[in-house]
Homo-oligomer: A and B are copies of this chain.
Amino acid sequence: MKVMTKKIENIAVLTSGGDAPGMNAAIRAVVRACSFYQLKCTGIYRGYQGLIEADFEDLDARSVRNIINKGGTFLKSTRSMEFKTKEGRKKAYDNLVKEGVDAMVVIGGDGTFTGAEYFSQEFNFPIVGIPATIDNDINGTDYTLGYDTALNTVVEAIDKIRDTASSHNRLFLVEVMGRDAGDIALNSGIGAGAEEILIPEEETGVERMIESLRRSKKAGKTSSIIVVAEGEKSGKNIFELARFIEENLDEYEIRVSVLGHIQRGGSPSCFDRVLASKLGVGAVEALMEGKTEVMIGIHHQKVVHVNLQTAIKGDAKIDKELRRVADITSV
């Protein structure tokens, strides 16, 4: 791990990429930790694009009052094409120097970290990352910010759908987020009592699902919920999947529900608020210790430092034990 010796007096913070519940709580913790250690804190609006446009604001402990419970990010987040160019990053660096910023905390997912890694090396500028994405697809941390909240949002939505499913003896296909990682689908599927769960990490989900629905029908189940991750591997979208089931199992009346963007919003759970507080404090302290190019993660309930390169190489693996629990509890 790299260590730098530059004295840190002014730390900037930004959010980037898809927003996640807990981003505000993390910003708050960064700001409060700066305040606690008597450092300046500079808020950057609209992620890397705002950095290029010098969209800055001084933040103090009062600036972040009453935001710990708010979804989204008050610093806003955008994708920046310009930051992918050398000129864009040069402007960004010049702005930081001009503003007197010594180090930066970036809150986001792997895209955010890739940009940070690049920028940090190019300009030898201290940066640490805080993992925030509802997908939980970052290496080296047990949890990413927003994931726990998204799980609760999903199970609450499916609880509502189950009311109507069981009133009508229907089969519902519910699409949840997760292009590459099945964590949301697998956990929310267990939590919502789904009969089957289709995830990107498995190839044969659809065949197994048809089998499982046949068994359920025989066993007298009259309504069912199937949770389907966006990135599921059948090559069918969820509406095609519904037709496929109707063609293969004619006795079901099927409905589709795509949960969509409600999964990204909402007041963060206590878990995410506490996690955000730990990671935000950990980020400021890591920078004060001269760390850079690391992500502040949580592992076995302790704050850990993970090289950004390691964190980015997301190579999501399915939790086989959890898969087994899903199979057993859905009999």
- A residues sitting closer than 8 Å to B (CB atoms) are 15, 18-19, 21, 23, 28-29, 32-33, 35-36, 61-62, 66, 68-73, 76-78, 142, 148, 151-157, 159-164, 166-169, 172, 187-188, 190-193, 219-220, 255-262, 264-267, 269-271, 273-274, 277-278, 280-281, 300-303, 321-322, 324-331
Contact = CB atoms under 8 A, between A and B. Distances in A.
A67 to B, nearest CB: 9
A247 to B, nearest CB: 22
A329 B271 contact: no
Closest A-B pairs by Cβ, 5 of them: A160-B265, A71-B163, A163-B265, A72-B163, A151-B270
A262 to B, nearest CB: 4
Nearest to A15: B167
B32 A328 contact: yes
A166 B265 CA distance: 10
A274 B72 contact: no
Contacts of A328: 29, 32-33, 36, 281
Given A78-B168, A161-B265, A274-B322, 8 more contacts: A23-B167, A33-B328, A148-B271, A159-B265, A164-B265, A191-B274, A278-B321, A302-B321
B267 A159 contact: yes
Contacts of A152: 152, 269-271
B270 A154 contact: yes
A151 B274 CA distance: 10
B329 A281 contact: yes
A331 B193 contact: no
Contacts of A278: 321-322, 325
Nearest to A148: B271
B69 A190 contact: no
Contacts of A190: 273-274, 277
A169 to B, nearest CB: 7
A329 B280 contact: yes
Nearest to A32: B329
A72 B258 contact: no
B267 A69 contact: no
A66 B280 CA distance: 26
A166 B62 contact: no
Contact of A69 (B151, B164, B193, B301): B193
Contact of A76 (B168, B322, B327, B330): B168
A329 B277 contact: yes
